[in-house]
């Protein structure tokens, strides 16, 4: 019975089936079971407001702890370029990789930039 309800929600909202493999999925089901009968699901407002704010705070805290580990673990600075088809802009993303994981570091709009040798020298200088 539970599977059918979860399935309907996945199908209705076109949630990728791989979301069922998320490490957060079983704890969510456990929390719902522990709450017992009559528990009310969070509203769209709660999900997009206070609950989202809590998650942002948690990720921000993790990133700060992550940055503090850099002098000990060192980092590899990685970059990639992506093209936004809607805005027709090109962005260069910088990511920091260490043994603790990978995190977004910064990005730069390079749409109007001449991508020659001088550009890349100045970029990493």
3-state DSSP assignment of residue 9: helix
Please identify which residue in the block is written with the tokens 């991508």.
115
Rounded to a whole number, what is the largest CA-CA distance in the chain? 65
Q: What is the pLDDT of residues 47-77, one digit of tens each?
A: 999 999 999 999 999 889 888 988 888 899 9
Give pLDDT, residue 89.
94
pLDDT in tens, the chain (125 residues): 889 999 999 999 999 999 999 999 999 999 999 999 999 999 999 999 999 999 999 999 988 988 898 888 889 999 999 999 999 999 999 999 988 888 888 899 999 888 889 888 887 76
Give pLDDT, residue 105.
85
Give pLDDT, residue 124.
73
Please identify which residue in the block is written with the tokens 């503090």.
68
Instruction: List residues bridging with 78 in a β-sheet.
Output: 95
Q: Are 63 and 103 in contact (CB under 8 A)?
A: yes
- Phi/psi for 117 (5° steps) reads -60, -40
Domain edges within the chain: 1-39
Give pLDDT, residue 8.
97
């Amino acid at each position: 019975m539970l599977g059918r309800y979860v399935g309907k929600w996945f199908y209705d909202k076109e949630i990728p089936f791989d979301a069922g493999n998320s490490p957060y999925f079983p704890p969510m089901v456990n929390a719902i079971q522990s709450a017992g009968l009559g528990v009310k699901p969070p509203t769209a407002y709660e999900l997009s407001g206070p609950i989202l704010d809590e998650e942002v705070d948690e990720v921000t805290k993790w990133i700060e702890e992550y940055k503090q580990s850099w002098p000990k673990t060192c980092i590899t600075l990685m970059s990639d370029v992506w093209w936004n088809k809607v805005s027709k802009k090109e962005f260069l993303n910088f990511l920091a990789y260490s043994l603790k994981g990978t995190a977004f570091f910064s990005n730069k709009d390079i749409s109007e930039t001449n991508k020659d040798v001088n550009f890349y020298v100045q970029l990493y200088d």
